[in-house]
Structure 1
Amino acid sequence: MSADPWPWPADTQLDRARRIAQSYREALLALDAAKCMNLDDRARELGQAWVVPELVTIDENEMLSATDAAALVGVNRSTLYRWVDAGHLVAIYRTNKQRPLFRSGDVLNAAAVQRRRRAARAAR
């Protein structure tokens, strides 16, 4: 069995598919910008805005709901709660009855740690 030639060993199958889709998008943009923009609009209409690159400025101290925090790093809310249970992420409760909030910088760090762990496992 040969080694996996993929240059980003921490990527999940979804990450790989997204990178490939982005490379096709970039090629289409270079060949036919108008067609690419039309397809971008259609992707947004279908709720797939991830296809279109977007510059995002993040305040690392912003407090996010579980839904927003999960969307920030492209995981399910259940994954965030697993990270909390494992001690990789802190959920902040302002009162006992309130839903948890997550500091955006902590969420980004937890996602980076998980990516490095996947890379280390893939390198073995």
Structure 2
Amino acid sequence: MTADPWPWPADNQLDRARRIAQSYREALLELDAARCMDLDERARALGQGWVVPELVTIDENEMLSATAAAALVGVNRSTLYRWVEAGHVSVVYRTNKQRPLFRAGDVLARAAAQRRRRAQRAQR
């Protein structure tokens, strides 16, 4: 069995596809910036904002809704709730609405731990 030449061993198939799509986007941006911007706008209109890289700064203590927390780390809400059930992420409930809130730092730490585990498995 030959070793996987992919340079980011923690990447799953979706991560790989996104990295490849991003490299094509960067090449198009160099060749035809106007066309790239048009396609970026189209992707956003279709709900695919991940196509356009964006620098995000977040306070680790910020409390996020389930939707925002899942989007922060690129997982489904169901994955987020599985992390809660497994004890990997804590949830806080507001007394007035009983909507669950998640601490951004906890969600980021869990996603990072998962990537480290995937990288370790890939290196075996």
User: TM-score range with shorter-chain normalisation?
Assistant: over 0.9
Q: Could you tell me how far 1:97 is from its partner in structure 2?
A: 6.6
Structure 1 residue aligned with 2:94? 94
How far did 1:118 drift?
0.9
Q: Count the aligned residue pairs.
A: 124
1:64 corresponding residue in structure 2: 64
- 1:63-82 Cα offsets, whole Å, 9 max, x none, are 01111100110001111111
Say yes or no: does 1:109 pair with 2:109.
yes
Q: Distance in 2 between matches of 1:7 and 1:88?
A: 28
Letter of the structure 1 residue corresponding to residue 105 of structure 2: G
Letter in 2 for 1:116: R
* Per-residue deviation, residues 39-89 of structure 1 (Å, max 9, x unmatched): 111111111110011121211111011111001100011111111122211
CA distance in 1, matches of 2:78, 2:21: 26
Uncovered stretches (5+) of structure 2, i.e. residues with no partner: none
Secondary structure of the equivalent of 2:92? coil
1:49 aligns with 2:49: yes
What is the rounded CA distance, in whole Å, between the counterparts of 1:99 and 1:45 in structure 2? 28
TM-score normalised by length of structure 2: 0.94
Q: Describe the SS at the equivalent of 2:95.
A: coil
Q: Which runs of 5+ in 1 are unaligned?
A: none
Which residue of structure 1 aligns with residue 74 of structure 2? 74
Mapped partners of 2:106, 2:84: distance in 1: 11
CA 1:97 to 1:13, structure 2 compared with 1: closer, same or farther past 3 Å?
A: same
CA distance in 2, matches of 1:55, 1:34: 21
Partner of 1:29: 29
For 1:93 and 1:38, how far apart are their aligned partners in 2? 41
Per mean C-alpha deviation after superposition, the further-off stretch among 93-102 and 24-33 is 93-102
TM-score where L is the length of structure 1: 0.94
- Using the alignment, how far apart are the partners of 2:54 and 2:30 within structure 1? 18
Q: Spell out structure 1 runs of 4+ moving beyond 3 A.
A: 94-97
